[in-house]
Amino acid sequence: MILSVDLGTSKICAVLVDTGTARPLAIRSIANDADIPGLPVDMHEQDPLRIRELAFEVMKQVLMDERATGQIVDAIGISGQMHGVLLVNNDLKPLTNLITWRDRRTAREDTPGSLIESLEKLGTDREHAVGCRLATGYGAASLIWLQRNRLIPDNCTALSIAGFVAASLTGIPSIDDTHAASWGIYALRTNKWDDESVNRLGLNKNILPDIRPSCKPLGELSIDAANLPGINNRPVVCSPVGDAQASFIGSVGFSTDTLVVNIGTGAQILIPSPECVYGEELDAWPLPLGGFLQVGATFCGGWAYAYLKDLFKTIAYEICGMEISDEEVYERMNSLAASAPPGANGLIIDTRFSGTRKNKSITGSIAGINAANLTPANLSLALLEGLVRDLYSIYCSSTPPRPRNLFASGNAVRKNRVLRSIIQRTFYLDSFASSVPEEAARGAAYAAAVGADIISRDKITQSIQQIVDERNFE
């Protein structure tokens, strides 16, 4: 069987996949409570040792499932939140916290290492080479900020959080090509660090890790780590995969005619492409084992709905003195959204509350308010419609030919039928979803199984089609 772990921003999940059927045997998840408290509002860091501890714990939990009894782990797959970076010493001990994709310190215009400063040095001619425009939260931007502020110690190596966990299991510090691309300085066509970008930024190249092919065997589980996740043998550990690519594979396998809309804490649209295509709204990211994705992302995604939930909770407490759980508020919001007509009686919400990767000055807004439509039901529906509308506008900028099918994934989609209905009527494509959760963790297992030559691509794709149980989900 294949064991995988997904290191998400808000949750960490482990999955066991049967190598005979390519179907998930057991799934376990645990909240990621590794956030560092007390930071300035524009900083977001997590404790890498706590993340590793949680990852090992959830791996132990899934291996304790009765369906795992007597089974041998053939390979370990890892996926993780992208863009983030931490520094480790030669003994793989963290020297910094994980600076995550949500960190916006480089947006400060009056400090050394600002994003504006980095973009001026880079120019625009390298964007097609690396497949993206450097943005807040990207690894290279964070590293330049650390370097310009003299916060990079001697003899250290930069890693992704997935690379840190992989190194903890194998003793091999490295980064896979999917995470390397998310840092903003990876040359997609030559599969190496883009020397021109690194030189223009003035980044110390000695801190950049070796690049390994995503999902290919990285090394055996080390003797020192063999007992940490509760594994009795020494399976091969595969090089990690970014959570966006893992979510794509976990949703549709290696299909080339299906786009994926993934809504969780953030929101992404993932469009398969045989070519490396970079556009104004869409980055180009490598897919494990060949091919590319056109990827568009928003900062808020499901967080926007949580933002409205917090407003309703605050109103209930400050006006009525009532304390209501998150679950109760979400349930009521979903019900109210379902009761409102499409279009929310003219109410329109722009959910770009944190700006965009290319324009941090953009803010959210509420428009179309009249004397009758400012209601909780219309607010709930209009926010969901705004979230999907933002993704659809990104999709419209993609390069034809466009996929014929749409797969909606992520916990926000799975828990909210109204959101699924909005997706279908907005994109107007043959749309489907699955009730089986944790696409990224399953995708990491599937990709590792193919990368380690244990299961074929076709078998993975066929297995996923069999567990999709909710087509045309309006």
Amino acid 357: pLDDT: 61
- pLDDT at position 338, please? 97
Tokens of 46: 């997590």
CA 353 to CA 363: how far, in whole Å? Answer: 5
Torsional class of 314: left (φ above 0), alpha (ψ -120 to 50), beta (otherwise): alpha
State phi, psi for 473 to the nearest 5 degrees.
Answer: -85, 15
DSSP code of residue 346: G
- What is the predicted pLDDT for the residue at 220? 93
**Per-residue pLDDT, 385:** 97
Residue 172 inside a domain? The answer is yes
- Within-domain flag for 421: no
Which residue has tokens 């890790």? 209
| Any domain includes 340 | no
User: Rounded distance, CA 89 to CA 94, Å?
Assistant: 7
Both tokens of residue 331?
Answer: 């349930």
Question: Beta strands of 19-174 (E only): which ranges?
Answer: 24-31, 45-46, 75-80, 86-88, 98-99, 157-159
pLDDT given at position 430: 83
In sequence order, what DSSP letters do the residues of 271-327 get, joined into one string? EEESS----SS-EEEEPTTS-EEEEEEES-THHHHHHHHHHHHHHHHHHH-----HH
Residue 250 lies in a domain: no
For 358, other C-beta atoms within 10 Å of its C-beta total 10
pLDDT at 472: 44
Q: How far is CA 12 from CA 9, 78, 196, in A?
A: 8, 11, 36
Integer CA distances (angstroms), 156 to 49, 94, 159, 173, in order: 17, 9, 10, 11
Q: What is the model's pLDDT at position 471?
A: 45
Predicted confidence at residue 302, as pLDDT, reads: 85
Tell which residue, 59, 28, 78, 449, has the closest CA to residue 231.
Answer: 59
Q: Are 449 and 23 in contact (CB under 8 A)?
A: no
Could you tell me if residue 106 is inside a domain?
Answer: yes
Q: Give domain status of residue 396, yes or no.
A: no
Rg over CA atoms, the chain: 22
Contact 269, 410 (CB under 8 A): no
> What's the pLDDT at 474?
47
Q: What is the pLDDT of residues 186-232, one digit of tens each?
A: 999 999 999 999 999 999 999 999 999 999 999 999 877 767 677 87
Number of Cβ atoms within 10 Å of the Cβ of 222: 16
Number of domains forming the structure of the chain? 1
Domain carrying residue 119: 2-241
**Residues in the chain with pLDDT < 50?**
469-472, 474
Q: Which among 295, 291, 289, 293 has a CA at the least distance from the CA of 448? A: 289
Domain membership flag for residue 146: yes
pLDDT digits (tens, 9 = 90+) for 389-440: 999 999 998 887 788 899 998 778 888 999 999 999 999 988 888 777 788 9
Angle between helices 457-467 and 439-451 (to 10 degrees): 160
Inside any domain, residue 78: yes
3-class secondary-structure state, position 406: strand
CATH number for the domain that contains residue 191: 3.30.420.40
**What is the pTM (predicted TM-score) of this model?**
0.87
Residue 104: Cβ within 10 Å count: 21
